[in-house]
């Protein structure tokens, strides 16, 4: 991983391949390793930038509160450092929230937007409440609380579950708490989505237990020009469960 200083943190990122700039943004509470299995399917066509969002993986953090928009600003700082003006961004789940915030603030930098197992609506009040309770639970009992609760819901595939559980256990309490609070406070992006004109693809598993595929269908209904790739049998981790098909979806974004 490479490290760059942006916005008062050290942001870690990996870079693979050659071609059109493409950023892959991981979900909660994971890190850049989420994308390991998709890289071989994309590296011949894309200059792939894969950050660890603030606090996760090898990136450092500052104490919360910070926002999803702060995370998007970190990515803008990374692109400035790399001298990349325009890029396609595909975000997985929480990474999709960050990608949406980036697209809203920096529309002139976007070549295309992909949401993988993500959504555009904000949390309902009870969802926000659940996140604050989980944050308090993590503060008291550590990240194992989240690893145990989330791993079985991320995928039905035992290999994927084991991998993600190991990744979650490596994350710091402060990153997990900071991201939970940032997600709870995130802006509703449905109105923003409805007026998008840039290339846009939704990639979603029909067996996603964390964010149901109906969330992607709602976005497609609000913006009929969006492409929707439904992955039969995929859970919340399609880039690991169906890397080849997920890569084809990412490629279709700009195709």
252 binds ligand MLT, rule: CB under 6 A: no
> Using CB atoms within 10 A of its CB, is residue 5 exposed (0-12), middle (13-18) or buried (19+)?
exposed
Nearer to ligand MLT, 5 or 139 (CB): 139
Residues 19-48 that bind ligand MLT (CB under 6 A): 27-28
Q: In residues, how long is the chain?
A: 255
Nearer to ligand MLT, 27 or 57 (CB): 27
Give dist(CA 239, CA 254) in Å, integer: 18
CA terminus-to-terminus distance, the chain: 29
**Contact pick of 11, 87, 89, 94 for ligand MLT (by CB under 6 A):** 94
State the number of CA atoms in the 13 A half-sphere of 62 facing the CB: 12
What residues does 88 pair with on adjacent strands?
22, 112
Closest approach of ligand MLT to the CB of residue 208, in Å: 10
- Binding-site string for ligand MLT from residue 185 to residue 224, where x marks contact by CB under 6 A and - marks none: -------------------------x--------------
Nearer to ligand MLT, 47 or 92 (CB): 92
Give dist(CA 121, CA 188) in Å, integer: 5
Nearer to ligand MLT, 12 or 94 (CB): 94
Angle between helices 144-154 and 125-141 (to 10 degrees): 130
Closest approach of ligand MLT to the CB of residue 28, in Å: 3
183 binds ligand MLT, rule: CB under 6 A: yes
Query: What residue ranges in the chain does DSSP mark as E strands?
Result: 2-6, 9-16, 20-25, 46-51, 87-92, 110-116, 200-205, 227-231
With beta carbons less than 8 A apart as the criterion, state whether 186 and 67 touch: yes
Nearer to ligand MLT, 67 or 93 (CB): 93
Nearer to ligand MLT, 59 or 93 (CB): 93
Catalog residues that contact ligand MLT under the rule CB under 6 A.
27-28, 93-94, 183, 210
């Amino acid at each position: 991983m490479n490290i760059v200083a942006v916005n008062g943190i050290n942001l870690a990122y990996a870079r693979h391949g050659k071609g059109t700039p493409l950023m892959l943004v991981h979900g909660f509470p994971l890190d850049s390793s989420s994308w390991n299995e998709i890289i071989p399917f994309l590296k011949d066509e894309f200059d792939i930038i894969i950050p660890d969002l603030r606090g996760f993986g090898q990136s450092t953090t500052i104490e919360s509160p910070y926002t999803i928009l702060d995370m998007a600003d970190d990515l803008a700082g990374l692109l400035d450092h790399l001298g990349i003006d325009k890029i396609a961004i595909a975000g997985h789940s929480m990474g999709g929230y960050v990608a949406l915030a980036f697209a809203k603030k920096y529309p002139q930098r976007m070549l295309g937007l992909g949401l993988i197992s993500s959504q555009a609506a904000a949390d309902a009040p009870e969802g926000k409440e659940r996140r604050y309770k989980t944050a308090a639970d993590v503060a008291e009992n550590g990240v194992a609380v989240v690893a145990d609760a989330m791993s079985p819901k991320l995928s039905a595939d035992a290999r994927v579950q084991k991998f993600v559980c190991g990744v979650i256990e490596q994350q710091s309490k402060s990153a997990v708490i900071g991201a939970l609070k940032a997600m709870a406070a995130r802006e509703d992006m449905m109105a923003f989505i409805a007026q998008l004109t840039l290339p846009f693809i939704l990639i979603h598993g029909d067996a996603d237990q964390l964010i149901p595929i109906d969330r992607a269908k709602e976005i497609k209904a609000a913006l009929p020009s969006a492409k929707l790739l439904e992955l039969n049998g995929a859970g919340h981790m399609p880039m690991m469960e169906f890397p080849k098909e997920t890569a084809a979806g990412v490629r279709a974004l700009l195709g």
